[in-house]
Structure 1
Amino acid sequence: MKFSKIILKICFLFAIILSANLYSQEREFDIIGNWNSTDFWSNESKTIFTKDGYISLTINGEKIDGKNFIIHGGPNDGQKGEMKYEINTKTSPIQIDIIALKNNVEKGRILGIIVPVHHTKFLMLLNFNGKRPETMNDENFEQTLTLYKTD
Protein backbone atom coordinates (compact mmCIF):
# COMPACT_ATOMS: atom_id res chain seq x y z
CA MET A 1 0.00 0.00 0.00
CA LYS A 2 2.79 2.48 0.93
CA PHE A 3 4.76 1.55 -2.16
CA SER A 4 1.83 2.30 -4.48
CA LYS A 5 1.31 5.69 -2.79
CA ILE A 6 4.98 6.54 -3.31
CA ILE A 7 4.78 5.50 -6.97
CA LEU A 8 1.60 7.57 -7.39
CA LYS A 9 3.29 10.64 -5.82
CA ILE A 10 6.35 10.22 -8.03
CA CYS A 11 4.16 9.95 -11.15
CA PHE A 12 2.21 13.02 -10.08
CA LEU A 13 5.39 15.07 -9.52
CA PHE A 14 6.82 13.88 -12.83
CA ALA A 15 3.61 14.94 -14.63
CA ILE A 16 3.77 18.41 -13.04
CA ILE A 17 7.43 18.86 -13.96
CA LEU A 18 6.83 17.64 -17.51
CA SER A 19 3.82 19.90 -18.06
CA ALA A 20 5.66 22.94 -16.65
CA ASN A 21 8.62 22.21 -18.91
CA LEU A 22 6.37 21.88 -21.98
CA TYR A 23 4.61 25.13 -21.08
CA SER A 24 7.88 27.02 -20.77
CA GLN A 25 9.11 25.66 -24.10
CA GLU A 26 5.88 26.60 -25.90
CA ARG A 27 5.65 30.12 -24.51
CA GLU A 28 7.73 32.53 -26.56
CA PHE A 29 9.31 35.48 -24.83
CA ASP A 30 7.09 38.57 -25.20
CA ILE A 31 8.83 41.88 -24.55
CA ILE A 32 5.92 44.11 -25.60
CA GLY A 33 4.46 46.16 -22.76
CA ASN A 34 5.35 48.29 -19.78
CA TRP A 35 8.28 47.29 -17.57
CA ASN A 36 9.89 48.65 -14.42
CA SER A 37 13.64 48.25 -14.48
CA THR A 38 16.07 48.17 -11.59
CA ASP A 39 19.86 48.35 -11.83
CA PHE A 40 22.50 46.95 -9.50
CA TRP A 41 22.29 50.05 -7.26
CA SER A 42 18.46 49.82 -7.02
CA ASN A 43 17.87 52.80 -9.32
CA GLU A 44 14.45 52.41 -10.90
CA SER A 45 13.18 53.50 -14.28
CA LYS A 46 10.36 52.67 -16.65
CA THR A 47 10.72 51.06 -20.05
CA ILE A 48 8.03 50.58 -22.70
CA PHE A 49 8.41 48.25 -25.69
CA THR A 50 5.70 48.83 -28.32
CA LYS A 51 4.36 46.44 -30.97
CA ASP A 52 5.64 48.72 -33.73
CA GLY A 53 9.25 48.45 -32.50
CA TYR A 54 9.68 51.63 -30.45
CA ILE A 55 11.28 51.78 -27.02
CA SER A 56 10.61 54.55 -24.52
CA LEU A 57 12.63 54.99 -21.33
CA THR A 58 12.62 57.05 -18.18
CA ILE A 59 16.16 57.74 -17.00
CA ASN A 60 16.83 59.88 -13.93
CA GLY A 61 13.27 61.21 -14.14
CA GLU A 62 13.62 62.25 -17.79
CA LYS A 63 11.25 60.53 -20.22
CA ILE A 64 12.66 59.61 -23.61
CA ASP A 65 9.74 58.96 -25.95
CA GLY A 66 10.99 56.52 -28.57
CA LYS A 67 8.66 57.89 -31.25
CA ASN A 68 9.46 61.52 -30.68
CA PHE A 69 12.27 62.70 -28.47
CA ILE A 70 14.41 65.79 -28.55
CA ILE A 71 18.14 65.14 -28.67
CA HIS A 72 20.14 66.82 -25.90
CA GLY A 73 23.75 67.68 -26.63
CA GLY A 74 26.10 67.00 -29.49
CA PRO A 75 25.79 68.15 -33.10
CA ASN A 76 22.08 67.25 -33.24
CA ASP A 77 21.12 69.18 -30.10
CA GLY A 78 17.45 70.20 -30.11
CA GLN A 79 16.54 68.01 -33.09
CA LYS A 80 13.96 65.23 -33.17
CA GLY A 81 15.07 61.61 -32.99
CA GLU A 82 13.60 58.13 -32.56
CA MET A 83 14.58 55.00 -30.66
CA LYS A 84 13.61 51.56 -31.86
CA TYR A 85 14.48 48.05 -30.82
CA GLU A 86 15.04 44.77 -32.62
CA ILE A 87 14.91 41.46 -30.82
CA ASN A 88 16.02 38.00 -31.92
CA THR A 89 14.35 35.31 -29.80
CA LYS A 90 15.91 32.51 -31.87
CA THR A 91 19.33 33.00 -30.23
CA SER A 92 20.45 32.00 -26.76
CA PRO A 93 20.75 34.31 -25.00
CA ILE A 94 18.14 36.45 -26.76
CA GLN A 95 19.70 39.36 -28.64
CA ILE A 96 18.39 42.91 -28.45
CA ASP A 97 19.52 46.00 -30.37
CA ILE A 98 18.45 49.52 -29.39
CA ILE A 99 18.70 51.75 -32.43
CA ALA A 100 18.92 55.57 -32.48
CA LEU A 101 17.46 57.17 -35.62
CA LYS A 102 17.30 60.68 -37.00
CA ASN A 103 15.26 61.35 -40.13
CA ASN A 104 14.85 57.56 -40.57
CA VAL A 105 18.65 57.13 -40.74
CA GLU A 106 20.40 54.95 -38.17
CA LYS A 107 22.79 57.00 -36.03
CA GLY A 108 23.85 54.37 -33.53
CA ARG A 109 23.12 50.97 -32.07
CA ILE A 110 23.42 49.59 -28.56
CA LEU A 111 23.86 45.81 -28.54
CA GLY A 112 22.60 43.63 -25.74
CA ILE A 113 21.34 40.30 -24.51
CA ILE A 114 18.25 39.21 -22.60
CA VAL A 115 17.78 36.28 -20.28
CA PRO A 116 14.11 35.59 -19.47
CA VAL A 117 13.51 34.55 -15.88
CA HIS A 118 9.72 34.38 -16.01
CA HIS A 119 7.07 35.80 -18.37
CA THR A 120 6.94 38.85 -16.06
CA LYS A 121 10.69 39.22 -15.42
CA PHE A 122 13.88 39.28 -17.47
CA LEU A 123 17.50 40.34 -17.19
CA MET A 124 19.04 42.64 -19.79
CA LEU A 125 22.69 43.52 -20.35
CA LEU A 126 23.56 46.32 -22.79
CA ASN A 127 26.97 47.22 -24.15
CA PHE A 128 27.75 50.72 -25.42
CA ASN A 129 31.03 49.92 -27.19
CA GLY A 130 29.60 48.24 -30.30
CA LYS A 131 30.24 44.67 -29.14
CA ARG A 132 27.41 42.41 -28.00
CA PRO A 133 27.87 40.80 -24.59
CA GLU A 134 28.08 37.03 -24.86
CA THR A 135 26.84 36.13 -21.39
CA MET A 136 25.93 37.56 -18.02
CA ASN A 137 28.55 36.81 -15.40
CA ASP A 138 30.24 38.14 -12.25
CA GLU A 139 32.29 40.63 -14.27
CA ASN A 140 29.30 42.41 -15.82
CA PHE A 141 26.67 41.81 -13.14
CA GLU A 142 26.72 45.47 -12.08
CA GLN A 143 25.63 46.52 -15.59
CA THR A 144 22.72 44.04 -15.70
CA LEU A 145 19.18 45.43 -15.49
CA THR A 146 16.27 43.50 -14.02
CA LEU A 147 12.92 44.28 -15.67
CA TYR A 148 9.49 43.47 -14.21
CA LYS A 149 6.31 43.61 -16.30
CA THR A 150 3.73 46.06 -14.96
CA ASP A 151 0.75 45.39 -17.24
Structure 2
Amino acid sequence: MKHLFTFFIIPLLLMSAISQQENFIGKWAGEDQGQLGYIMFDDDGYAAFEIQGQVMGGKEFTMNGEKGKMNYTINFETTPMEIDFTMTKIESGESKKILGIAEFKDMNTIKFDISFGDIRPSDFGDNSITLKRVE
Protein backbone atom coordinates (compact mmCIF):
# COMPACT_ATOMS: atom_id res chain seq x y z
CA MET A 1 0.00 0.00 0.00
CA LYS A 2 2.83 2.36 0.82
CA HIS A 3 4.28 1.83 -2.65
CA LEU A 4 0.95 2.68 -4.29
CA PHE A 5 0.98 6.03 -2.52
CA THR A 6 4.52 6.73 -3.65
CA PHE A 7 4.02 5.74 -7.28
CA PHE A 8 0.52 7.10 -7.93
CA ILE A 9 -0.62 9.69 -5.41
CA ILE A 10 2.52 11.81 -5.04
CA PRO A 11 2.98 12.26 -8.82
CA LEU A 12 -0.70 13.23 -9.14
CA LEU A 13 -0.28 15.88 -6.44
CA LEU A 14 2.85 17.23 -8.12
CA MET A 15 1.12 17.35 -11.52
CA SER A 16 -1.77 19.27 -9.95
CA ALA A 17 0.58 21.90 -8.51
CA ILE A 18 2.41 22.21 -11.84
CA SER A 19 -0.83 22.63 -13.81
CA GLN A 20 -2.04 25.29 -11.36
CA GLN A 21 1.23 27.20 -11.80
CA GLU A 22 0.79 26.99 -15.58
CA ASN A 23 -2.45 28.97 -15.14
CA PHE A 24 -0.33 31.94 -14.05
CA ILE A 25 2.17 31.80 -16.92
CA GLY A 26 1.82 34.79 -19.22
CA LYS A 27 1.36 38.54 -19.18
CA TRP A 28 -1.38 40.12 -17.08
CA ALA A 29 -2.58 43.74 -17.35
CA GLY A 30 -4.24 45.91 -14.76
CA GLU A 31 -4.89 49.55 -14.03
CA ASP A 32 -3.68 51.11 -10.80
CA GLN A 33 -4.24 54.79 -10.00
CA GLY A 34 -5.02 55.49 -13.64
CA GLN A 35 -1.87 53.82 -14.97
CA LEU A 36 -1.75 50.59 -16.95
CA GLY A 37 0.76 48.07 -15.66
CA TYR A 38 1.70 44.47 -16.27
CA ILE A 39 2.85 41.45 -14.31
CA MET A 40 4.62 38.70 -16.25
CA PHE A 41 5.08 35.14 -14.96
CA ASP A 42 7.30 32.70 -16.86
CA ASP A 43 7.55 28.94 -16.57
CA ASP A 44 11.09 29.13 -15.14
CA GLY A 45 9.80 30.78 -11.95
CA TYR A 46 10.71 34.37 -12.84
CA ALA A 47 8.31 37.30 -12.62
CA ALA A 48 8.51 40.94 -13.69
CA PHE A 49 6.49 44.10 -13.18
CA GLU A 50 6.18 46.61 -16.03
CA ILE A 51 4.97 50.15 -15.38
CA GLN A 52 5.27 53.00 -17.90
CA GLY A 53 7.53 50.86 -20.08
CA GLN A 54 10.01 50.23 -17.26
CA VAL A 55 10.53 46.54 -16.41
CA MET A 56 11.54 45.49 -12.92
CA GLY A 57 12.24 41.81 -12.48
CA GLY A 58 12.74 38.74 -14.60
CA LYS A 59 15.92 36.72 -15.02
CA GLU A 60 18.03 39.86 -14.99
CA PHE A 61 17.33 43.58 -14.75
CA THR A 62 19.21 46.68 -13.65
CA MET A 63 17.97 49.03 -10.94
CA ASN A 64 20.02 51.85 -9.43
CA GLY A 65 23.10 50.52 -11.26
CA GLU A 66 22.82 47.03 -9.75
CA LYS A 67 21.80 43.83 -11.50
CA GLY A 68 19.00 41.83 -9.98
CA LYS A 69 16.47 39.10 -10.63
CA MET A 70 12.96 38.38 -9.39
CA ASN A 71 11.53 34.91 -8.73
CA TYR A 72 8.05 33.96 -7.63
CA THR A 73 6.52 31.11 -5.65
CA ILE A 74 2.83 30.34 -5.23
CA ASN A 75 1.19 28.50 -2.35
CA PHE A 76 -1.93 26.88 -3.81
CA GLU A 77 -2.86 25.31 -0.46
CA THR A 78 -4.17 28.60 0.97
CA THR A 79 -7.29 30.60 0.21
CA PRO A 80 -6.60 33.09 -1.22
CA MET A 81 -3.41 31.77 -2.85
CA GLU A 82 -0.20 33.26 -1.47
CA ILE A 83 2.32 34.65 -3.96
CA ASP A 84 5.84 35.60 -2.90
CA PHE A 85 8.06 37.66 -5.18
CA THR A 86 11.73 37.49 -4.20
CA MET A 87 13.97 40.24 -5.56
CA THR A 88 17.66 39.35 -5.35
CA LYS A 89 20.74 41.45 -6.03
CA ILE A 90 22.85 39.18 -8.22
CA GLU A 91 26.28 40.32 -7.00
CA SER A 92 25.63 40.33 -3.23
CA GLY A 93 22.83 37.77 -3.00
CA GLU A 94 20.86 40.18 -0.80
CA SER A 95 17.14 39.63 -1.21
CA LYS A 96 13.78 41.17 -0.32
CA LYS A 97 10.35 39.54 -0.48
CA ILE A 98 7.15 41.14 -1.68
CA LEU A 99 4.16 39.28 -0.23
CA GLY A 100 0.89 38.93 -2.08
CA ILE A 101 -2.38 37.10 -2.46
CA ALA A 102 -4.34 36.11 -5.56
CA GLU A 103 -7.66 34.62 -6.49
CA PHE A 104 -8.81 33.50 -9.94
CA LYS A 105 -12.16 34.95 -10.98
CA ASP A 106 -11.96 32.95 -14.22
CA MET A 107 -9.11 31.55 -16.33
CA ASN A 108 -8.21 35.01 -17.65
CA THR A 109 -8.98 37.20 -14.63
CA ILE A 110 -7.14 37.37 -11.30
CA LYS A 111 -7.85 39.51 -8.27
CA PHE A 112 -4.47 40.46 -6.84
CA ASP A 113 -3.06 42.32 -3.84
CA ILE A 114 0.54 42.79 -2.67
CA SER A 115 2.28 44.41 0.25
CA PHE A 116 5.67 46.04 0.10
CA GLY A 117 5.95 45.68 3.88
CA ASP A 118 6.64 42.53 5.84
CA ILE A 119 2.98 41.61 6.34
CA ARG A 120 1.02 39.71 3.71
CA PRO A 121 -2.45 41.08 2.91
CA SER A 122 -5.08 38.82 4.47
CA ASP A 123 -7.90 39.88 2.19
CA PHE A 124 -8.51 42.06 -0.85
CA GLY A 125 -8.68 45.66 0.30
CA ASP A 126 -8.59 49.08 -1.32
CA ASN A 127 -5.16 48.36 -2.85
CA SER A 128 -6.25 45.22 -4.68
CA ILE A 129 -6.26 45.16 -8.46
CA THR A 130 -7.96 43.03 -11.09
CA LEU A 131 -5.60 41.66 -13.73
CA LYS A 132 -6.64 40.40 -17.17
CA ARG A 133 -4.52 37.97 -19.20
CA VAL A 134 -3.14 39.61 -22.34
CA GLU A 135 -0.73 36.85 -23.49
Matched, 1:97 2:84: yes
Deviations 1:74-107 (A, max 9, x none): xxxx111001111111110000011111228351
Separation in structure 2 between the aligned mates of residue 87 and residue 122 of structure 1, nearest angstrom: 14
Q: TM-score, structure 2 length as denominator?
A: 0.77
1:1-150, aligned counterparts within 5 Å?
28=20, 30-39=23-32, 41-72=33-64, 78-103=65-90, 105-136=93-124, 140-141=125-126, 143-150=127-134
Higher-strand-fraction structure: 2
**Residue type matched to 2:77 in 1?**
K
CA contact (8 A) 1:99 1:106 kept: no
Report how many residues are paired. Answer: 115
> Residue 103 and residue 28 in structure 1: after superposition, are their counterparts in 2 closer, same or farther (change >3 A)?
closer
Q: CA RMSD in A?
A: 1.8
Separation in structure 2 between the aligned mates of residue 64 and residue 127 of structure 1, nearest angstrom: 16
* Structure 2: segments with no counterpart, 5+ residues: 1-18
Separation in structure 1 between the aligned mates of residue 130 and residue 113 of structure 2, nearest angstrom: 9
Displaced runs of 4 or more, over 4 A: none
Aligned residues with identical type, % of pairs: 30
CA contact (8 A) 2:56 2:63 kept: no
Q: TM-score, structure 1 length as denominator?
A: 0.69
Separation in structure 2 between the aligned mates of residue 84 and residue 37 of structure 1, nearest angstrom: 20
CA contact (8 A) 1:71 1:81 kept: yes
Separation in structure 1 between the aligned mates of residue 104 and residue 34 of structure 2, nearest angstrom: 19
